[in-house]
Every structure is written in structure tokens, then in C-alpha cells.
């Protein structure tokens, strides 16, 4: 027997949580992808809600690009299931292609075509009718502020302009879902910030955004939700503040005359949730107000005859979250084995 | 609705063709230079060597320049078509192919689009050679009425078209399978040698050893040259001491062989594109 009819009011621009909880625009379960013996994507499952900005955060080689290539149907799915914009990538890849926009990691603009021609070509590739195409090109050139570059060859554009043109191209067909693979790689800080504004504006207009990045601040600043991905696996998923709060309320960094003894003493304190070795000192995660706890810590250590060299108190950043979950710093990229070992050894 | 997606690929490739001025001019001047230098030099030699061979009575004689003019059209078509797919390789290396591969455009449309633009380039070159050839003394369409010239030009373009499609499909198949332009260069050089020299483009095959003759019989280039000569010169003529005859039947057979070749090459390209992964 059918249940009572529920009228779900859904706004044109889906930005609210009520909507996000309801509709999955990407659903992935048990996705595995191998290159020979190498497992690039190792059994990942996740969902992206309609209307949100969702990030894959992880180092180079974590499997982000492989995952995005499968979701955008450039790579054939090997194992698992992925439904993108309502279509299974393994069964109806051409349906998926019609419903998504993509901005690739590398610049993929023909150097010898003008901005207008780039967009025209893209519109034609997707069989957009001529009038709609022409109208959309003008709209988009205005959106990304390239109106006066209409007839400029792309080889004469700056890095930021190229990126903007590529975003415009990704939006050409008014996709419900836009994939951005490392959207600000190689851009200067100012241009990156502007890029973020564009991405947010696009999202506000109702386009769901799936982005991959290895920049902590980018994931933190842009995303509604983040999945931290490393070695082909999703380590954790959540809103940026949730991930940080899960880690600790505050972080206290100490360098002392005897780190081992310090660790032993502080482990017994109520508010201390975790202690890790970091560089020449200790990083102490606390679930209470650090400014109030710090004097107590200093007093306790003083009583035990341990002297302090350095003290630092801060809120957890995405970097801290990443280090906590992966056991290494993002910029290490697995190259520095010793620091990795230290970090692992320090974890409880 | 008929999907005309291949026209998008065609449009972009032609845009680049007219945009790269050096490429455009060199591709148009090169065939004319072949006629001007190789043609005139070889014609002088061949006509001197074969000048004292008694002509076969009752059969019209054509000069060597006229004879090899058809070969130059064929040769130019071969080279242009074999290199026609290289743009796919550049697109792949520059990452531009990803945009196309990620779009809903069916992959056979990529093949058709590239083939169509390559064919257009071959048409332009063929017309240039014909005009320039006549200008420097080749006796194409000798004694033809205007109507006959029009039909003959169409016949030549039909042969050039189907032949170029075959080699463009081949070129596209190789390009999509390779990683580097250097590799393509090598393969094309390897292919052009036997195709070009084991054919009747520049000289008669009658004096070839049997193996080479057998190769020339199945060589698509030979059949293209047969077609061009039939339409440009006629079905009954002698050149450099050899009597050439062709009937509508033999020409239809040549065309049918080119058609089969093109179909096979399309199959090859289709298979390579289905398997291609561009990320």
C-alpha cells in the first residue's frame, strides 16, 4: 500500500540542507580500479548531494584523478557501481556525458582557437542548437569576465583567464553537475581567491560541484563536505568544521626538555584526547578551551621539573586533520619516510 | 534526427587548416613544385629515352608529363591522407582529445570528421595540380568538350575521395593507437615507400619483377592512378612506349577495390577508437 503523498517543496536553486539530504547526484559504492597490480582506487563508496560542493582532498597519486576519470566516463569502470546524474556510468555512459560538465586538471584549450571558437566548438560537440549556443556563449563570457577576449587566441590568455574560459566551457551545456579537477593548480594566490569566488557563484546558481584538490585551504574554503582520500581509500568524510572538531577543540604544541616524560604525564589528563610527536615537540589535542588548560599543563610540568622551550596554541586546521588521518603531511607526498615513521610512532 | 556531429570535428580541422598559413601554403605549393621540378626534369629524360621507340600505329601518344601528372595527384593524395590523422595524435598529446572523448559525440564521428577534412584538402590539392599541370604543358582532358571535362574532373575527385578516405582511416587508426608523433612519422615513412614505388604512379609496372608486379596489382595507389588516367587522358593511349587500355569495367573494378580498402580501413579505425582510452 502506498504511503501518504508527501509534497516536497524544492526550490529552483537547491542550496539548503533540506535538499542536500534528499537527493544524491553521485552515488558510488565499492569502486575499485587497478592498473595492472597497482590498486589506484581501493573500494571507495560515497555520495554527493545535489546542490553541494563536494571535495576529494588528497595528495598526488591518491587516486583522485582515477576516480574522477571513472565518474566522467573517460575510464571504463572495472568493479563497483557509480551512478552519476541518475545514470550508471557502466551502462549509460553517453547519458552521463550529456548531463555533466568537466574542467580537467591540465589546460585543454586549443592554443590556436579564440575564446569564442572554444565555446562554439564545445556547444556543437554537445549538439546544442545554434541560437541557444550563441546566447549561452555571451552569457558565459560575461560570467567569467572575458567579453573583451572573445576573439583572442587562447595562447594569449593568462593562466587565470584560461581557467575561467575552461570553467565557462564546462558550464556551456548548463550541466547539473560540474567536475573540477584541481581547479587552481598553478595559479597565483590572488587568482586562486578569485577562482574560488567564481566557483562559489556557479554553485549558488544551482550547479553541484565535485572537485578534487590537494590544497587544504581550497578544500576548507570551498567545500560543503570533504572526503580525505589517501592510497586509493576514503579515510573520512564530513563538513570541514566537523572534521576539525572531531580532531580536537584546540591544539597545543610543546617543546620540552623531556618529551617522553611530558607525554606520559599529559596522557593522564582528562581533557587531553591524543598526543602525537611532531618535529622536535609534541602536539596535544584537547577537547576543552586550550587557553584555560594551558596554564594547568605548564604548572603540572613545572612540578615534575620539566622545562618548556616553546609553547603554541591554535585551532586545528585542515592540515592537522589530514596529518591526523593519514599519518603524514600532505606536502611530504610519501617521499620522506622517516617523518612518516615518527608521526606513526607518536600516534596512539 | 540525423547526428551531424562529425561536422563539428570537420569545422575545427578546417579552421586550423586555413589558420596555419605556412601549413596551408606549403600544402598547396608542394604538389605544384613536384610537377614543376620532378615532372619537367623526368619528362625531358623519359621523352629523350623513349623518343626513338616506334609508336604503335592508331593509338594516341601522350607526353611523360601528362602521364606522370596523374601520378603526382595520386602521390599527393597518399601523403596528405596518411598525415591527415596526425592532428588526432597532437590533440591526444595536448590533452585536447579528452574534451572530445568526454562529450556525447559518438567516436565514429571523430573518424568521419577528420576523414572529411582530409578529403577536402586532397580535393583542393588535386584541383591545383590539374590546373597547374595544364599550365606547364600536361595534356589533361585533351580534346574534351566542356561537359566531358566536368564529368572527368568529377570522376577524378570521386577516385581521389574514396582513396583518401581509406588512407585517412588508416592514419586515424594509427594515430589513436600511438603515443608520439615521431612514431607516426616512422610508420608513415615505412608505409609510403612500398606503396609509392610499387605502383604505376611514375613509371610503368610492366617491367617489374613478378613479386613487385603482384604487389602493384593489389596496391590501392595503382588503382587510384588507373582511375585518374582514365578520366584525365582516356581509355586508350600510349606513353613511354607502352600501350594503355582501360574500359569502364576495369575502372569500375578499380573503384570497387578502393571501396573495399576504405571499408576495411574504417573497420580498423573503428576498432582502434572503441578501444582507445584517453585520460
A151 at B interface, C-beta within 8 A: no
- Encode pLDDT of A225-234 as tens digits: 999 999 999 9
Supply φ then ψ for residue A57, to 5 degrees.
-110, 125
- In a domain, residue A12? The reply is no
With CA atoms as reference, the chain A residue closest to B91 would be A110
A106 at B interface, C-beta within 8 A: yes
- In a domain, residue A245? The reply is no
Question: Which of B12, B94, B106 comes nearest A121 by C-beta?
Answer: B12
Same domain assignment for residues A22 and A63 = yes
Give residue A13's pLDDT. 42
A125 at B interface, C-beta within 8 A: yes
The domain of A339 spans 253-346
The reply to whether residue B103 touches residue A74, judged by beta carbons under 8 angstroms, is no
Same domain assignment for residues A48 and A161 = yes
Same domain assignment for residues A265 and A328 = yes
- In a domain, residue A100? The reply is yes
**SS3 (DSSP) at A325:** helix
b/e code A324-348 from CB counts within 10 Å (16+ = b): bebbbbbebeeeeeebbebbeebee
Write out the three cell numbers for B186: 616512422
Same domain assignment for residues A43 and A147 = yes
Centre a 10 Å sphere on the Cβ of residue B157 and count the other Cβ atoms it contains.
19
- Complex ipTM: 0.88
**Cα of A233 to nearest chain B Cα, Å:** 21
- In a domain, residue A246? The reply is no
Q: How confident is the model at residue B11 (pLDDT cuts 50, 70, 90)?
A: very high
- Encode pLDDT of A229-272 as tens digits: 999 999 999 998 888 888 888 888 889 888 888 888 888 888 88
Same domain assignment for residues A220 and A321 = no
Question: Which of A97, A117, A122 comes nearest B15 by C-beta?
Answer: A117
Same domain assignment for residues A120 and A234 = yes
B94 at A interface, C-beta within 8 A: yes
**Cα of B148 to nearest chain A Cα, Å:** 40
- Encode pLDDT of B138-195 as tens digits: 889 988 899 999 999 999 999 999 999 999 999 999 999 988 888 888 898 899 888 9
B276 at A interface, C-beta within 8 A: no
> Mean pLDDT for chain B?
89
pLDDT: is B203 or B164 the higher one? B164
Mean pLDDT value across residues B252-261: 96
With CA atoms as reference, the chain A residue closest to B5 would be A125
Give the helix ranges, DSSP H, for A126-214.
130-143, 159-171, 189-204
**Chain A residues whose beta carbon lies within 8 Å of the beta carbon of residue B103:** 97, 122, 125-126
A73 at B interface, C-beta within 8 A: yes
CA atoms within 13 A on the CB side of A65: 12
Same domain assignment for residues A81 and A160 = yes
Same domain assignment for residues A90 and A192 = yes
- In a domain, residue A212? The reply is yes
With CA atoms as reference, the chain A residue closest to B15 would be A113
Same domain assignment for residues A223 and A114 = yes
Three-state SS string over chain B comes to: CCCCCHHHHHHHHHHHHHHCHHHHHHHHHHHHHHHHHHHHHHHHHHHHHCCCCCCCCCCCECCHHHHHHHHHHHHHHHHHHHHHCHHHHHHHHCCHHHHHHCCCCCHHHHHHHHHHHHHHHHHHHHHHHHHHHHHCCCCCCCCCCHHHHHHHHHHHHHHHHHHHHHHHHHHHHHHHHCCCHHHHHHHHHHHHHHHHHCCCCCCCCCCCCHHHHHHHHHCHHHHHHHHHHHHHCCCEEEECCEEEECCHHHHHHHHHHHHHHHHHHHHHHHHHHHHCCCC
- In a domain, residue A150? The reply is yes
- In a domain, residue A7? The reply is no
Give residue A151's pLDDT. 95
Describe the strand order of the beta sheet including A272-278 as a list of residue ranges. Answer: A272-278, A281-286, A250-256, A308-314
Out of A206, A238, A270, pick the residue that ends a domain: A238
Out of A238, A265, A299, pick the residue that ends a domain: A238
Same domain assignment for residues A187 and A42 = yes
How many Cβ pairs closer than 8 A exist between chain A and B?
Answer: 66
The reply to whether residue B5 touches residue A107, judged by beta carbons under 8 angstroms, is no
Mean pLDDT value across residues B126-132: 91
**Chain A residues whose beta carbon lies within 8 Å of the beta carbon of residue B3:** 127
Phi-psi label, residue A61: left if phi above 0, alpha if psi -120 to 50, beta otherwise = left
Question: Which of B5, B19, B95 comes nearest A112 by C-beta?
Answer: B19
B243 at A interface, C-beta within 8 A: no
- Encode pLDDT of A11-34 as tens digits: 344 444 444 456 899 999 999 999
A102 at B interface, C-beta within 8 A: yes
**Chain B residues whose beta carbon lies within 8 Å of the beta carbon of residue A93:** none
Mean pLDDT value across residues B109-114: 94
- In a domain, residue A2? The reply is no
Give residue A9's pLDDT. 36
Out of A191, A214, A238, pick the residue that ends a domain: A238
pLDDT in tens, chain A (348 residues): 444 443 333 334 444 444 445 689 999 999 999 999 999 999 999 999 999 999 999 888 889 989 999 999 999 999 999 999 999 999 999 999 999 999 998 889 999 999 999 999 999 999 999 999 999 999 999 988 899 999 999 999 998 899 999 999 999 998 999 999 999 888 888 888 888 998 998 899 889 999 999 888 899 899 999 999 999 999 999 998 888 888 888 888 889 888 888 888 888 888 888 888 888 888 888 888 888 888 888 888 888 888 888 898 888 888 888 888 877 665 544 433 333 333 333 333
Same domain assignment for residues A229 and A263 = no
Same domain assignment for residues A112 and A55 = yes
Question: Which of A74, A102, A112 comes nearest B16 by C-beta?
Answer: A112
User: Which of A148, A93, A87 shows the shortest CA–CA distance to A116?
Assistant: A148
**Percent of chain B's residues with pLDDT above 90:** 46
Strand partners, A87: A84
The total domain count for chain A is 2
Q: How confident is the model at residue B259 (pLDDT cuts 50, 70, 90)?
A: very high
User: Which of A110, A124, A98 shows the shortest CA–CA distance to A165?
Assistant: A110
Q: Looking at residue A125, which CATH number applies to its domain? A: 3.40.50.300
Amino acid at each position: 500500500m502506498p504511503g501518504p503523498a508527501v509534497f516536497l517543496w524544492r526550490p529552483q536553486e537547491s542550496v539548503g540542507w533540506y535538499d542536500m539530504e534528499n537527493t544524491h547526484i553521485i552515488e558510488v559504492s565499492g569502486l575499485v580500479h587497478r592498473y595492472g597490480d597497482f590498486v589506484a582506487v581501493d573500494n571507495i563508496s560515497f555520495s554527493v548531494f545535489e546542490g553541494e560542493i563536494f571535495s576529494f582532498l588528497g595528495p598526488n597519486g591518491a587516486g583522485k584523478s582515477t576516480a574522477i576519470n571513472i565518474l566522467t566516463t573517460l575510464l571504463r569502470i572495472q568493479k563497483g557501481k557509480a551512478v552519476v546524474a541518475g545514470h550508471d556510468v557502466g551502462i549509460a555512459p553517453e547519458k552521463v556525458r550529456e548531463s555533466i560538465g568537466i574542467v580537467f586538471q591540465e589546460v585543454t584549450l586549443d592554443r590556436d582557437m579564440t575564446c569564442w571558437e572554444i565555446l562554439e566548438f564545445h556547444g556543437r560537440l554537445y549538439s546544442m542548437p545554434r541560437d541557444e549556443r550563441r546566447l549561452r556563449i555571451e552569457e558565459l563570457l560575461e560570467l567569467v569576465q572575458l567579453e573583451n577576449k572573445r576573439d583572442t587566441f587562447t595562447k594569449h590568455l593568462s593562466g587565470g583567464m584560461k581557467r575561467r574560459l575552461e570553467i565557462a566551457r564546462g558550464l556551456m551545456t548548463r550541466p547539473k553537475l560540474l567536475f573540477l579537477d584541481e581547479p587552481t593548480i598553478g595559479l597565483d594566490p590572488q587568482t586562486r581567491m578569485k577562482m574560488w569566488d567564481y566557483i562559489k557563484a556557479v554553485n549558488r546558481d544551482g550547479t553541484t560541484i565535485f572537485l578534487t584538490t590537494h590544497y587544504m585551504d581550497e578544500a576548507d574554503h570551498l567545500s560543503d563536505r570533504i572526503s580525505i582520500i589517501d592510497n586509493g581509500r576514503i579515510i573520512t568524510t564530513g563538513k570541514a568544521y566537523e572534521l576539525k572538531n572531531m580532531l580536537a577543540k584546540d591544539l597545543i604544541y610543546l617543546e620540552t626538555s623531556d618529551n617522553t616524560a611530558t607525554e606520559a604525564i599529559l596522557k593522564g589528563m582528562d581533557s587531553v584526547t591524543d598526543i602525537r610527536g611532531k618535529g622536535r615537540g609534541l602536539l596535544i589535542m584537547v577537547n576543552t578551551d586550550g587557553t584555560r588548560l594551558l596554564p594547568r599543563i605548564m604548572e603540572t610540568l613545572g612540578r615534575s621539573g620539566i622545562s618548556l622551550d616553546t609553547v603554541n596554541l591554535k585551532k586545528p586546521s585542515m592540515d592537522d586533520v589530514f596529518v591526523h588521518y593519514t599519518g603524514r603531511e600532505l606536502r611530504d607526498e610519501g617521499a620522506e619516510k622517516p617523518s612518516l615513521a615518527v608521526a606513526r610512532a607518536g600516534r596512539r | 534526427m540525423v547526428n551531424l556531429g562529425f561536422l563539428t570535428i570537420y569545422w575545427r580541422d578546417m579552421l586550423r587548416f586555413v589558420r596555419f598559413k605556412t601549413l596551408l601554403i606549403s600544402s598547396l605549393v608542394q604538389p605544384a613544385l613536384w610537377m614543376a621540378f620532378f615532372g619537367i626534369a623526368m619528362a625531358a629524360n623519359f621523352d629523350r629515352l623513349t623518343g626513338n621507340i616506334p609508336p604503335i600505329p592508331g593509338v594516341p601518344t601522350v607526353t611523360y608529363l601528362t602521364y606522370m601528372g596523374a601520378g603526382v595527384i595520386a602521390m599527393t593524395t597518399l601523403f596528405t591522407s596518411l598525415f591527415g590523422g596526425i592532428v588526432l595524435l597532437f590533440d591526444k598529446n595536448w590533452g585536447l582529445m579528452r574534451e572530445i572523448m568526454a562529450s556525447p559525440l559518438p567516436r565514429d564521428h571523430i573518424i568521419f570528421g577528420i576523414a572529411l577534412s582530409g578529403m577536402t584538402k586532397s580535393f583542393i590539392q588535386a584541383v591545383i595540380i590539374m590546373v597547374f599541370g595544364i599550365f606547364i604543358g600536361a595534356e589533361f582532358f585533351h580534346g574534351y568538350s566542356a561537359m566531358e571535362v566536368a564529368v572527368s574532373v568529377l570522376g577524378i575527385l570521386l577516385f581521389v575521395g574514396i582513396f583518401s578516405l581509406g588512407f585517412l582511416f588508416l592514419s586515424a587508426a594509427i594515430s589513436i593507437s600511438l603515443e608520439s608523433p615521431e612514431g607516426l612519422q616512422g610508420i608513415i615513412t615505412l608505409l609510403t615507400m612500398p606503396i609509392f614505388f610499387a605502383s604505376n604512379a611514375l613509371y610503368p609496372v610492366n617491367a617489374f619483377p613478378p613479386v613487385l608486379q603482384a604487389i602493384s596489382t593489389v596496391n590501392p595507389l595503382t588503382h587510384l592512378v588507373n582511375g585518374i588516367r582514365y578520366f584525365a587522358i582516356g581509355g586508350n593511349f600510349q606513353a613511354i612506349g607502352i600501350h594503355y587500355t582501360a574500359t569502364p569495367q576495369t575502372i569500375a573494378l578499380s573503384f570497387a577495390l578502393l571501396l573495399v580498402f576504405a571499408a576495411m580501413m574504417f573497420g580498423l579505425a573503428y576498432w582502434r577508437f572503441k578501444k582507445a582510452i584517453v585520460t
